[in-house]
Amino acid sequence: MATDLQRWGERQIALLVSLGRSPRDAERSIAWVLKMLPPGADPDHWLPTADELASTADITAGDIADARADWYASPDVPPQFKRILDARADA
C-alpha cells in the first residue's frame, strides 16, 4: 500500500513529465525531495536550505574546465566577454 508521500511523489513525477522533464530527471528530483524532506514536513511547502542544495551539486573540476573551454570557443560569446573568466577583483 502506497503512503501519502509515495502518492505525492507519483503525482509530482507525472506533473513534471507533463511539463517536459524527462521521466528519469523527474524521478531523480522527486526522490531527492523525499530523501531530504524532514520528518512530518509538508512536501508542498518545504524548501531546502542553501546548504542542502549545495550538498547535492555534482559539479566537478572537469565540468568547470569543459565549461571554460566551451565559453572561449563559442562564436556566440563576444571577445570582450571572454575575458570575464580571467578577471580578478583587486584586493
- First-residue to last-residue Cα distance in the chain: 61
What is the full per-residue pLDDT of the chain (91 aa) written as tens digits?
568 999 999 999 999 999 999 999 999 999 999 999 999 999 999 999 988 888 777 778 888 889 889 999 999 989 888 888 777 666 5
Q: What is the pTM of this model?
A: 0.59
Rounded Cα distance, 32 and 52, in Å: 10
CA dihedral 14, 18, 19, 23 (to 10 degrees): 60
Residues 6+ apart with CB under 8 A from 35: none
Helix ranges (H only) for the chain are 4-18, 23-36, 50-54, 61-73, 79-82
